[in-house]
Structure 1
């Protein structure tokens, strides 16, 4: 199994949860804030994944990754912070009491 196949369910769940908040107030604001958060998390992922891979803390078998890399980090590693940046605010919005969703 490749890392891309592992990421797909997380990406689909993230999309579903984020779209479930589309009709709630401040959706655009949440998406913008999530995009900024995702950008920051991707920058941190790029820096620290590259440092950890360069230090030899872990490696990725070539047959499990797409081959696209940012430095030493495979592109699939960036899906998790992006999913987190969009899914966490969406889940918190859905779990908030209705009167606090404004």
Structure 2
């Protein structure tokens, strides 16, 4: 018998000082400092092969992308222009970090 499992899905809004992560399975939002050591600890605590979508933000997303990829997570980098148009298409008017993280998930 095959047991189907779905990957953990996480949306991340990236800023210079912190990232805001929304974890879909637990419906929780976390604020994490945007430095390699803190990001590494947080990413290690995630289930293996999580799916992580984040918005490309200058160079501030690169540490998260590199660390997550090295740990075997699936990483999706989303263009800010496309995310903005997607937000408009579904009628979401709020533009906050937690809202964007949920939208990415």
TM-score for the superposition, normalised by structure 1: 0.23
Q: Which has the higher contact order (CA 8 A, sep 6+)?
A: 1
Q: Which has the larger radius of gyration?
A: 1
- Structure (1 or 2) with the greater strand fraction: 2
TM-score for the superposition, normalised by structure 2: 0.23
